[in-house]
């Protein structure tokens, strides 16, 4: 009988950051379960190298908040690629998720307009709670500098 070893599956160092906001310019922040006190926007890596970034953004929004982009309440037109890209050093605490030697991630920023009253269903393994904050307060509340900077760009990208 052959013996198979499983190859480790590493995260792809290319991700999306989705700033979810309301028409009142309030931003949805979610608290990380693996780092309580760390607040952020929706973020996540591509599942496959060939996965289009817009699909990564839609998938991550669905997985992390339960919001279905492309629905009647949140049409696909409400998801916009802000044409912002950040390259940053991956925090050492999360580097084990990536292939050996990978230390940087490329992040693509999107914005998503949703009704503030839209129900939010968090992925319990990933996030503890959520809150809506005015955009400038939300930027101040983020642990990630690139996330804070993206939120500060919100007035330029309003739908």
* Model confidence pLDDT, tens digit, residues 60-84: 999 999 999 999 999 999 999 999 9
Confidence of residue 3 (pLDDT cuts 50, 70, 90): low
Looking at the DSSP bridge assignments, the partners of residue 96 are none
CA angle 145, 27, 123 (to 5 degrees): 85
Is 96 inside any structural domain? Answer: yes
Cβ pair 74, 66 in contact under 8 A: no
44 domain residue, yes or no: yes
Expressed in percent and rounded to 5, the helix, strand and coil fractions of the chain are: 25, 35, 40
Do the domain assignments include residue 34? yes
Domain extent at residue 104 = 14-157
Provide the CATH number for the domain around residue 48. Answer: 3.90.79.10
Q: What's the total number of domains in the chain?
A: 1
Q: Does residue 4 lie within any of the structural domains? A: no
Considering the domain boundaries, does residue 86 fall inside one? Answer: yes
Closest CA to 149 of 60, 40, 24, 25: 40
Q: What is d(CA 20, CA 114) in angstroms, rounded to the nearest whole number?
A: 7
Tell whether 66 is covered by a domain: yes
Q: Supply the pLDDT for residue 13.
A: 97
Q: Which residues neighbour 7 within 8 Å (Cβ) at sequence distance 6 or greater?
A: none
The verdict on residue 6 lying in a domain is: no
Residue at 115 is within a domain: yes
Question: What is the tens place of the pLDDT at every residue in 93-112?
Answer: 989 999 999 999 999 999 99
């Amino acid at each position: 009988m052959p013996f198979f070893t499983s190859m480790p599956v590493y995260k792809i160092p290319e991700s999306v950051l989705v700033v979810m906001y309301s028409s009142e310019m309030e931003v949805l922040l979610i608290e990380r379960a693996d780092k309580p006190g760390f607040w952020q926007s929706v973020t996540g890596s591509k599942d496959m190298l060939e996965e289009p970034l817009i699909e990564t953004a839609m998938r991550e929004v669905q997985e992390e908040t339960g919001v279905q982009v492309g629905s009647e309440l949140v049409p696909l037109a409400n998801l916009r690629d802000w044409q912002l890209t950040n390259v940053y050093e991956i925090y050492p605490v999360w580097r084990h998720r990536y292939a050996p030697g990978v230390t940087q991630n490329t992040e693509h920023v999107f914005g998503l307009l949703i009704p503030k009253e839209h129900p939010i269903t968090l992925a319990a393994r990933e996030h503890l709670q959520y809150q809506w904050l005015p955009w400038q307060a939300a930027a101040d509340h983020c642990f990630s500098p690139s996330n804070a900077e993206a939120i500060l760009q919100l007035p330029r990208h309003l739908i």
